[in-house]
Amino acid sequence: MREVDRRGKYSRRTFLQGAATAVPVAAVAASAGVGIEDAWAADATTLAPSSMKTLVKVARDIYPHDFLVDNYYIAAIKPWDEKAAKDPAIKTLLEDGVRRLDQDAQDRHKLGYAQVPWEADRVVLLQGIEQTDFFKKLRSDLVVSLYNQKELWPKFGYEGSSAEHGGYIKRGFNDIDWLPKV
């Protein structure tokens, strides 16, 4: 029988080290005009924190899943900051696209895109740019970066690859329980 050690894995020292790093991040986020809940955006090295926040809102509006927390969307867009650092064309595409989206939101709602409160209103704004390279890039990259997170697979009922388990024929192929028996 396996014994589980129920004692905490964190010491007082580890807690204090974590708290010491959290304070500067919160200070940087506050100075950048980003709320504490959006402090993750302050870690961006190339894209503006406000652009990162807008990209998360766009990602949620393109692929909406109410049962997913923002962490999955944040993980999906964070690599774009690295891509923008390596390729100035991507940085320009992303920053100009966010700028245009914010301008469209300002013209229509007198708010930035991320501050528009209703999803239906944001979707109308996205429909206005769906033929742009910016929107096409986001949609095509998100389908991979969002849905290729292994932590998400169980939330959608996907069990992962079956090749190493003998394929789907031996792993759930004939487990249809929602069709009537004939």
Q: Let me know if residue 17 belongs to a domain.
A: no
Residue 34 in any domain: the answer is: no
Structurally, the chain folds into a number of domains equal to 1
The C-alpha angle 97, 101, 102, rounded to 5 degrees, equals 115
- Does the pLDDT of residue 45 top 90, yes or no? no
Residue among 102, 41, 110, 103 at smallest CA distance from 77? 41
Q: Is residue 39 part of a domain?
A: no
Is residue 172 included in any domain, yes or no? no
Rounded distance between C-alpha atoms, residue 168 and residue 31, angstroms: 52
Residue 42 lies in a domain: no
Distance of alpha carbon 29 from alpha carbon 5, whole angstroms = 37
Residue 32 included in any domain: no
The pLDDT tens digits of the residues spanning 125-149 come to: 999 999 999 999 999 999 999 999 9
User: Would you state the pLDDT for residue 27?
Assistant: 54
Q: What is the domain range of residue 103?
A: 49-150
Within-domain flag for 168: no
Q: Is residue 119 part of a domain?
A: yes
pLDDT given at position 43: 79
Interhelix angle 133-145/49-62, nearest 10 degrees: 70
What tens digit of pLDDT does each residue of 80-127 get? 999 999 999 999 999 999 999 999 999 999 999 999 999 999 999 999
Q: Which of 48-52, 95-99, 126-130, 176-180 has the lowest mean pLDDT?
A: 176-180
